[in-house]
Structure 1
Amino acid sequence: MLDSNFFQVTVARKTSLSAGMLRLTFVGDELERFRTTGMPDEYLRLFFPDEETGELVLPMIDADGRWSYREGKPPVRCSTYTVRRFDRSNREIDIDFVVHQGGVASDWAQQVGEGEPMVINNPRGLYTPPHDLPWQVVIADATGIPAATRLLEQKPRHLICRVVIEVACEADIQPLPEADNIDVTWIVGSGNGHYRSRLGDIFPALPLPAGPGHIWAAGEQETIRQIRKFAKNTLKLPPDRHKLVAYWIDENTPRPAPQQLDAALRESLAAQWGPRGQSN
């Protein structure tokens, strides 16, 4: 049996969610002791065997959550993913994977079959907004869709959510939770490792509702840095009013930037969300 921080699971099902995302459902009796945080952005790690030796190297984790490694062992091979769904009664976990080439976990998820083993750990979450929120803005590229979807599923009924999701193509759009106070704008054809993201340009143009709210964003590191700079330096948001998380780093040669925000998109955002400082 594994250390209490880790869980042996197997692949039970594979589901296609869109052209660019698939879901693996994992099952395992050890998930009875899985310690979910309940946070919508909670994440765990998938641990992979050493490519050369086939040995599964797991870290030692102390009471404070710090990792250490046994002397002479290679660094652990792992990938971080959002917990899309946890079902304790059926001992199941859903994890959604962006389909792309060259990623350890994505490549594995695309070729893996039912019954294949995997080791995961207990999750952690970062989403701790104030309890008095009247509104929230949710911004993400494809990697942030699983967490963004959970945010919308778990939100208080009164909370106004204005959502901007960037995907590479129309085929990557997938259903999101619906409610009268959820507005969603899909940005198609930029970011996601194909072109430069437009999210960092769109965020300053968003007509935010009046009063204190919360900004949640997840995506590529440079894009999140751009959003954070505007949130802190221009909007002057205190730390508890935003959670901006870099999920990945684009190490490719920069591609041509997409066109600046055109008038049609600006008008669409203004019509859907109202002028800055107002709430529809």
Structure 2
Amino acid sequence: MTIYRATVSRVRPLTDTMVRITLTGGDLPGFVSTGVGDEYVRLFFPHGPDRRELSLPVATDTGWETPEGRPTAPMRTYTIRAARPESAEIDIDFVLHDHGVAGGWAAAARPGDPLGLNDPTGLYARPEGVTRQILVSDLTGLPALARILENTPDSLTTRAIVEVPDERSVQPLPAHPRTRVTWAHGGNGRTPSRLADLVTAALPPGTDLTDTYVWVAGETTALRSVRKHLRRTLELPTDRFKVVGYWAPGGDSWSERYEALPEGVKAELAALWENPEGDLEDVTITYEERLSGLGL
């Protein structure tokens, strides 16, 4: 793994709720994009009020660590909206809100601000031979959905459904001759997410998905029932769908609440992953059902 230092070069408002920040310079000439539409990176932010003071971790064999005596940089995960290796530039779209490390940083971002990031990882993996895809996301998944559309061949039929807070959050998506887009208003931390209902309405029980790939991204807790619907109700093979949780209500306190669980419960949860029985998606469903029962 590599930790890169980059600098903000441009800030462009997209809508009332999203801003595009272009990163360049620093170590970015060595950054290698996977080219996958929903590739993500960990971003490392300034730790204090001085936006120009960035304490980056160092890469290790298993991840990264903060050198002794240095402050820890707050970290958040974001997808890459565009990568231009010829100019060593990366675009990242941020949802603007009045809480959290990343949203506050992005709202005040200016050229020259430093930011750290690591190597990217992509999850979208449409199998060969698929002729149709269903893409569903909330506002946090919109940048990845848009980039997936940019990479979609003209021969592929796409149904895209995006849940945004209101009409002010709607933005143009890449043109594609065989794509139909529906915008739904709500969710996104303002009202209860309707992602599960939107997926079920688009893919009710009995839907023929022989030649279809499904990609869904957004609020983590809302997607637990989506994963169950795709895997258990529709019985989709695990290589034919990807469900990606991007955020959770009260996410900043989730780790604290998890650590407050009894040691036996934490050991039980960890054991699910140590020697998983069955497919990873099925194990994930069992794990998420247990978390829901614990109020997490």
TM-score range, shorter chain: 0.7 to 0.9
Checking the alignment, whether the CA contact within 8 Å between 1:60 and 1:68 is kept in structure 2 is yes
- How many residues align? The count is 246
Residues 1:141 and 2:138 are matched in the alignment: yes
> Which residue matches 1:230?
229
TM-score by length of 2: 0.77
Alignment of 1:127-166 (within 5 A): 127-166=124-163
Task: Sort the Cα spacing of 1:209 and 1:23 in 2 relative to 1 into closer, same or farther, 3 A.
Answer: farther
Aligned-partner Cα distance in 1 for 2:82–2:160: 20
Q: Percent identity?
A: 39
Task: Kindly state the Cα deviation for residue 242 of structure 1 after the two structures are TM-superposed.
Answer: 0.6
CA deviations 1:71-123 (Å, max 9, x no partner) are 67665421111111111111111000001111201100111211111122221
The root-mean-square deviation of aligned C-alpha atoms, in Å, is: 2.1
**Residue 48 of structure 1: aligned partner:** 45
Taking structure 1 as reference, are residues 72 and 113 closer, same or farther at Cα in structure 2, changes over 3 Å only? closer
Q: Secondary structure of 1:247's match?
A: strand
Instruction: Provide the rounded CA distance (Å) in 1 between the counterparts of 2:3 and 2:171.
Output: 32
> Which residue number corresponds to residue 192 of structure 2?
196
Q: Out of 243-252 and 44-53, give the one that drifted further.
A: 44-53
Q: Name the CA distance, whole Å, in 2 between partners of 1:179 and 1:186.
A: 16
Question: After superposition, where does 1:105-184 map in structure 2 within 5 Å?
Answer: 105-184=102-181
Higher helix fraction (1 or 2): 2
Partner of 1:276: none
Deviation at 1:67, TM superposition (A): 3.7
Gaps of 5+ in 2: 252-296
Q: Which amino acid in structure 1 is aligned with residue 228 of structure 2? A: K
> Is contact 2:54-2:115 (8 Å) kept?
no
Matched residue, 2:79: 82
- Whether 1:247 and 2:243 are equivalent positions in the alignment is no
Q: 8 Å contact 2:57–2:67 — kept in the other structure?
A: no
Distance 1:187 1:52, change over 3 A: closer
**Cα offset, 1:216, TM superposition:** 0.2
Paired residues of 2:161 and 2:182 also in contact (CA < 8 A): yes
User: SS state of the match for residue 100, structure 1?
Assistant: coil
Q: Which amino acid aligns with 2:128?
A: H
In 1: Cα distance, 2:72 partner to 2:43 partner = 14
State the shift of 1:45 in Å: 1.7
1:216 aligns with 2:212: no
Which residue pairs with 1:96 in the alignment?
A: 93
Distance in 2 (CA, whole Å) between partners of 1:52 and 1:93 is 25
Report the Cα distance in structure 2 between the residues aligned to 1:153 and 1:61, rounded to whole angstroms: 34
- Contact 1:36/1:123, CA 8 A, preserved across alignment: yes
Question: Structure 1 CA distance, aligned partners of 2:65 and 2:114?
Answer: 24
Determine the C-alpha separation between the residues in 2 that align with 1:210 and 1:123: 30
Whichever residue aligns with residue 193 of structure 2, its letter is: S
